[in-house]
């Protein structure tokens, strides 16, 4: 479908789901939401971290993971091609090329174009190792390999998209690097815990948009996945001024947001914060104080 049919402000669809250990159940939910979004003329559909499944325990997670060439991911490639839509597949449990030697997986965010081509793959750099006494206990690094590079922003009909995943949101160096590389949309597919989500989710997303002057799109997991895991939900889109322009309600659902790049570029002119940055001084201060430069 042509951009003219979609209008001057591209429509983005953000999916909120409750992934289970049952991959077939998750495929049914996600594919239905994608089809619904395309009927609304969305040009990109964003799915959350762990859209494929959330395992009940580590061994189950490792057993359900697949390589990118596997049958499960290829369903989504075919779905993008069938419905002529971009898909942000926000966190796939990937058996990488080193699976045989490590027996660990990657948390992989893929961007698929309407021809069914995987145009970008980002593997999560910052792994969620957190121990909040009596509230949250999770160590992603016990079964997941960290990624080793930030992926350049990808041109799409909605704007240049910078890829990240969940816990990456807490590291502003990454979002600033993507913004300086030209990103207009930063996407943080997530599975925030109920505890950390209630405290930090909205604050972090809005702060990110203000610091980077980008749109932020955050598709999220919601609800109870199994007896020991519940996600916060509240998928949302935040504009470069820090205003929430779309948000999902409770349960599996969709929300929609137009991306206004004219507004974004106008804001950059009115408040040219990146022209005012002094990275040379930040690096010098860090070196003088005994810290690694940003």
Active-site hit among 166, 208, 214, 255: 166
Active site residue 49: yes
Active site residue 30: no
Active-site hit among 43, 49, 208, 255: 49
Task: Please give the structure tokens belonging to residue 31.
Answer: 């594919």
Active site residue 97: no
Task: Please give the structure tokens belonging to residue 251.
Answer: 């349960």
Active-site hit among 124, 214, 248, 258: 124
10 Å CB burial of residue 201 (0-12, 13-18, 19+) is: buried
Distance CA 24, CA 26 (A): 5
Q: Within the chain, what is the greatest distance between any pair of CA atoms?
A: 57
Residues 65 and 50 sit within 8 Å (Cβ to Cβ): no
**Cross-sheet strand order for the sheet of 86-94:** 118-123, 106-112, 86-94, 44-47, 11-16, 253-258
Residues marked active site are found at: 49, 124, 166
């Amino acid at each position: 479908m042509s951009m003219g049919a979609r209008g001057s402000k591209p429509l983005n669809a953000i999916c909120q789901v409750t992934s289970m250990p049952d991959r077939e159940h998750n495929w049914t939910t996600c594919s239905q939401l994608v089809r619904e979004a395309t009927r609304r003329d969305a040009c990109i559909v964003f799915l959350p971290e762990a859209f494929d499944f959330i395992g009940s325990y580590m061994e189950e997670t490792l057993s359900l993971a697949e390589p990118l060439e596997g049958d499960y991911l290829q369903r989504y490639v075919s779905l993008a091609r069938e419905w002529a839509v971009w898909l942000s597949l926000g966190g796939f449990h990937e058996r990488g090329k080193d699976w045989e030697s490590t027996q660990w997986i990657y948390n992989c965010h893929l961007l698929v174009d309407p021809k069914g081509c995987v145009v970008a793959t980002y593997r999560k750099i910052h792994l969620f190792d957190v121990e909040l006494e009596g509230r949250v206990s999770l160590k992603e690094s016990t079964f997941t390999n960290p990624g080793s590079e930030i992926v350049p922003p990808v041109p799409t009909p909605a704007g240049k998209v910078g890829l990240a995943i969940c816990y990456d949101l807490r590291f502003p160096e990454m979002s600033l690097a993507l913004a300086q590389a030209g990103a207009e949309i930063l996407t943080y597919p997530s599975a925030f815990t109920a505890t950390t989500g209630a405290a930090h989710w909205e604050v972090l997303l809005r702060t990110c948009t203000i610091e980077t002057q980008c749109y932020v799109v955050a598709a999220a997991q919601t609800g109870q996945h199994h007896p020991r895991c519940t996600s916060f939900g509240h998928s949302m889109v935040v504009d470069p001024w820090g205003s929430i322009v779309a948000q999902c309600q409770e349960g599996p659902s969709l929300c929609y947001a137009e991306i206004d790049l004219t507004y974004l570029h106008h804001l950059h002119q009115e408040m040219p914060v990146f022209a005012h940055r002094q990275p040379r001084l930040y690096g010098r201060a860090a070196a003088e104080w005994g810290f690694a430069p940003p």
